[in-house]
């Protein structure tokens, strides 16, 4: 058997030098005259071990990492093709504690299979969900998804099945499935990872959504900052089309469904669903007022399911193993698993898929291992640039939609950014306002003007100009933005600002000592 070497082609791994490692491995193979197959898999998500190279041996896969190009020669010398020992030896990848403790449902194949091999996909349980779906009525598929308790993983947490039912029940000559892959939140990379590492699962999820609602056309709107994900998805769609997974007869059934990959143009606000629809239509990505809901009048005025990547990618496992299986994981009204993305200043950054219900402290301290700098954790921002900053005092909050809402925070797309004690929370609050000002679509006044005024007020605060007045003013402004904005950009910018102010009040009162020292 020809040895198989897995070297991730995931952007995160590439950013850490995977391409150079692949080049070194190819050169070493050529020099030693060894024939081997190099598979460019996705990442398993343990980024502190990337580039993580794996080899398939008689006793299963053996991982090595983080591998530097300079390690490659010695890896061959140590017989790594048969799992030989080396200082980078990690053993069986699924026994690595960071990976072993996870519950991988949505990301079961990510980092394991060849992303562009449909055979590999099928061999690892792929397409079973779609096969089940084509044998069912649309209403039965919708019922399964509703019963699974799956809620929108993009951040809003709206029940996916209810959204699908609305589209199913709305009659129209044409309906659409739109996948929101405009993953702009800092600290999140789950969408990117699944698109680069297991693109067929997203295609399968979208095809199931099409069958369930009577939609025949899908669009994946990917942000332009993800060129690798765009390339992989485009290739995967072509492969799926050739194999009959997409097209006029999905898997040989009477259902027709096809899709296109579209690329964004650098506007954060297009991650908001109605702005995304306008952008797809070729307009400025401005937010629409609701109603009408996209489920009634969405893309080109037609009933449209618009779901996040992870919501859609979670559907195949639900349709394969059943609603009850999926629903068994989780707590309260948050069912199933969530891919938590641990990022920023953290010792063990990466993607960690687990059932809902772990506490924030477990995620940051136990799994993330504290900060990368070794300094104390000061704050964690959960849910991207519109998410609240949590202090250590709230580390007992369980990862659950309602529990976070009760603490004036949000899960969002489940990205967690860790900051050490050198973080200046006034600066972070100012950045939240500044970011909102840069990215506002300009349609509603609280967001467009409020964000700029917010920056000015916080600047005056940092210059210690009538601080009490500025704090009162920014609090009032946040209230206006929260309740007066059209969408979550203006409406949620107050979360990071007010949480920083409430939990870290000392940072909002510049010390006279520091001034005297200058």
Partner 1 sequence: MTMQPASTEIASRTAAIIHELKGLEGPLLPILHGIQEEFGYVPQDALPVIAEALNISRAEVHGVVTFYHDYRSQPAGRHVLKLCQAEACQSMGSDAIAAKLKSLLGIGFHETTRDGSVTLEPVYCLGLCACSPSAMLDDEVIGRLDDEKLNEIVAEVRS
Question: 232: how many CB neighbours lie within 10 A of its CB?
Answer: 26
**Whole-number CA gyration radius for the chain:** 24
CB of 165 vs partner 1, minimal distance in Å: 25
CB of 262 vs partner 1, minimal distance in Å: 7
CB of 16 vs partner 1, minimal distance in Å: 5
CB of 466 vs partner 1, minimal distance in Å: 27
CB of 121 vs partner 1, minimal distance in Å: 23
Q: Nearer Cβ to partner 1, position 54 or 439? A: 439
Note whether 470 and 458 are within 8 A (CB). yes
Closest CA to 487 of 183, 338, 276: 276
- Tell me how far CA of residue 452 lies from CA of 426, 439, 483, 505, in angstroms: 16, 11, 17, 22
Q: Nearer Cβ to partner 1, position 48 or 390? A: 48
Question: 224: how many CB neighbours lie within 10 A of its CB?
Answer: 12
CB of 415 vs partner 1, minimal distance in Å: 7
Q: Nearer Cβ to partner 1, position 120 or 217? A: 217
Q: Nearer Cβ to partner 1, position 77 or 281? A: 281
Q: State the Cα–Cα distance between residues 200 and 203, nearest whole angstrom.
A: 5
Q: State the Cα–Cα distance between residues 107 and 45, nearest whole angstrom.
A: 9
Q: State the Cα–Cα distance between residues 226 and 210, nearest whole angstrom.
A: 25
- Long-range CB contacts (within 8 A, 24+) of 237-242: 237/199, 237/203, 237/261, 239/116, 239/118, 240/118, 240/200, 240/203
CB of 448 vs partner 1, minimal distance in Å: 13
Q: State the Cα–Cα distance between residues 120 and 134, nearest whole angstrom.
A: 21
Pairing mode, strands 377-382 and 389-391: antiparallel
Pairing mode, strands 176-181 and 304-308: parallel
Q: State the Cα–Cα distance between residues 276 and 298, nearest whole angstrom.
A: 10
Q: Nearer Cβ to partner 1, position 194 or 207? A: 194
CB of 225 vs partner 1, minimal distance in Å: 5
| Cβ-Cβ contacts under 8 Å for 451 (sequence gap 6 or more) | 433, 434, 436, 437, 440, 481, 490, 493
Q: Nearer Cβ to partner 1, position 28 or 225? A: 225
Q: Nearer Cβ to partner 1, position 196 or 320? A: 196
CB of 409 vs partner 1, minimal distance in Å: 15
Note whether 377 and 370 are within 8 A (CB). yes
* The pair of three-digit structure tokens given for residue 57, joined into one six-digit string: 């041996």
Q: State the Cα–Cα distance between residues 151 and 162, nearest whole angstrom.
A: 9
Q: Nearer Cβ to partner 1, position 395 or 431? A: 431
List of residues contacting partner 1 (CB under 8 A): 11-12, 14-16, 45, 47-48, 50, 183-189, 191-192, 217, 224-228, 260, 262-268, 279-286, 300, 341-345, 349-351, 372, 381, 384-385, 415, 417-420, 423, 428, 431, 435, 438-439, 441
Q: Nearer Cβ to partner 1, position 47 or 404? A: 47
CB of 396 vs partner 1, minimal distance in Å: 22
CB of 59 vs partner 1, minimal distance in Å: 29
Q: State the Cα–Cα distance between residues 21 and 511, nearest whole angstrom.
A: 49
CB of 301 vs partner 1, minimal distance in Å: 12
Note whether 377 and 418 are within 8 A (CB). yes
DSSP labels, 271-327: GSHHHHHHHHTTS--PPPPSSSPTTTS-GGGS-EEEEEHHHHHHHHHHHHH-HHHHH
Q: Nearer Cβ to partner 1, position 316 or 384? A: 384
Q: Nearer Cβ to partner 1, position 308 or 341? A: 341
Q: Nearer Cβ to partner 1, position 157 or 264? A: 264
């Amino acid at each position: 058997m020809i040895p198989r070497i897995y070297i991730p082609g995931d952007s995160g791994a590439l950013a850490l030098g995977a391409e150079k490692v692949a080049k070194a491995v190819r050169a070493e193979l050529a020099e030693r005259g060894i024939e081997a197959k190099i598979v460019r898999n996705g990442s398993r998500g343990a980024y502190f071990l990337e580039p993580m190279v794996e080899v398939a041996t008689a006793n299963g896969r053996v991982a090595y990492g983080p591998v530097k190009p300079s390690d490659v020669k010695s890896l061959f010398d140590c017989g790594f093709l048969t799992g030989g020992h080396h200082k980078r030896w990690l053993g069986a990848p699924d026994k690595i504690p960071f990976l072993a403790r996870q519950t991988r449902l949505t990301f079961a194949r990510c980092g394991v299979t060849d992303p562009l091999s449909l055979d590999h996909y099928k061999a690892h349980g792929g397409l079973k969900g779609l096969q089940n779906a084509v044998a069912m009525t649309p209403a039965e598929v919708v019922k399964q998804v509703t019963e699974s308790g799956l809620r929108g993983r993009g951040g809003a947490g709206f029940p996916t099945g209810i959204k699908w039912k609305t589209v199913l029940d709305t009659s129209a000559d044409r309906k659409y499935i739109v996948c929101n892959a405009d993953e702009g939140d800092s600290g999140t990379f789950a969408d990117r990872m699944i698109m680069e590492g297991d693109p067929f699962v997203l295609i399968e999820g979208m095809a199931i959504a099409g069958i369930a609602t009577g939609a025949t056309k899908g669009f994946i709107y990917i942000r332009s900052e993800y060129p690798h994900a765009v390339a992989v998805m485009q290739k995967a769609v072509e492969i799926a089309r050739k194999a009959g997974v997409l097209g006029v007869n999905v898997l040989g059934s009477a259902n027709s469904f096809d899709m296109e990959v579209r690329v964004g143009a650098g506007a954060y606000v297009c991650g908001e669903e109605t702005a995304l629809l306008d952008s797809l239509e070729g307009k400025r990505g401005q937010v629409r007022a609701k109603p009408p809901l996209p489920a009634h009048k969405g893309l080109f005025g037609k009933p449209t399911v618009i779901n996040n990547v992870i919501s859609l990618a979670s559907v195949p496992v639900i349709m394969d193993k059943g609603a009850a299986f999926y629903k068994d994981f989780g707590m309260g009204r948050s069912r199933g698993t969530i891919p938590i993305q641990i990022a920023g200043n953290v010792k063990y950054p990466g993607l960690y898929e687990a059932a809902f219900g772990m506490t924030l402290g477990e995620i940051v301290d136990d799994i993330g291992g504290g900060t990368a700098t070794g300094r104390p954790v000061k704050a964690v921002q959960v849910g991207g640039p519109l998410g609240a900053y949590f202090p250590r005092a709230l580390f007992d909050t369980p990862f659950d939609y309602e529990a976070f809402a009760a603490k004036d925070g949000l899960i969002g797309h489940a990205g967690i950014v860790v900051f050490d004690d050198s973080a200046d929370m006034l600066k972070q609050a100012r950045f939240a306002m500044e970011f909102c000002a840069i990215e506002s679509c300009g349609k509603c006044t609280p967001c467009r003007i409020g964000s700029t005024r917010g920056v000015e007020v916080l600047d005056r605060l940092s210059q210690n100009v009538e601080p009490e007045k500025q704090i009162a003013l920014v609090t009032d402004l946040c209230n206006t933005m929260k309740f007066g904005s059209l969408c979550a950009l203006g409406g949620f910018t107050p979360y990071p600002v007010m949480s920083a102010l409430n939990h870290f009040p000392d940072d909002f009162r510049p010390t006279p000592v520091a001034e005297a020292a200058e």
